[in-house]
Amino acid sequence: MRALVTGGAGFIGSHLAEALLVDGHEVTVVDDLSRGRRSQVPPAARFVQADVSGDLGGILHAARPDLVFHEAAQIDVRRSLADPALDTRVNVLGTVNLLQACAATEVPRFVFASSGGALYGDTEAIPTPESHPQLPASNYGAAKAAAELYGNVYSQVYGIEFVALRYANVYGPRQDGTG
């Protein structure tokens, strides 16, 4: 399988790229290095420095992925409140841009890195079921909710198999605690 991982120089994306390579898959990493580190990209992966808000058609055409893992994001909740336009550009428009490029190049599957806690806001329902109402308490949470909705639209309109993973409290090696 050929996989493309956005945010593949970051915490979660670099581990994902490594695991895919160990399993024998061909991996292309796309990262703008705004937070990620080039040194975290596995040597066996093809690396392309690019912003998800930019032109991705050529990258997807060259990589011909069977699956896109979209891990790239603006993850700082405080920054999302201070600069909602930036947060929206990266987390909503960047996701839509990538989905559009996937539709144009006929990428069949798309896995989106969403957020568990940010979507539901403060809730006493622990564990929180996916059926719980989404009440984001930040621009970051609202952006993740909007991106999930766009993913569902692209699934219905273009036939892209879309799944959102609602990560919560991920930690481990290579973690950057500034998010």
Catalytic residue numbers read: 140
Question: Which of 103, 162, 31, 151 has its CA nearest to residue 40?
Answer: 31
Cα–Cα nearest to 138, from 74, 84, 176: 84
Alpha helices in 111-176 (DSSP H): 117-120, 139-158
Residue 166: both structure tokens together:
């609602």
Q: Using CA atoms, how far apart are residues 26 and 29, in angstroms rounded to an integer?
A: 10
- What the block records as the tokens of 157 is 């309109």
How far apart (Å, rounded) are the C-alpha atoms in residues 64 and 88? 27
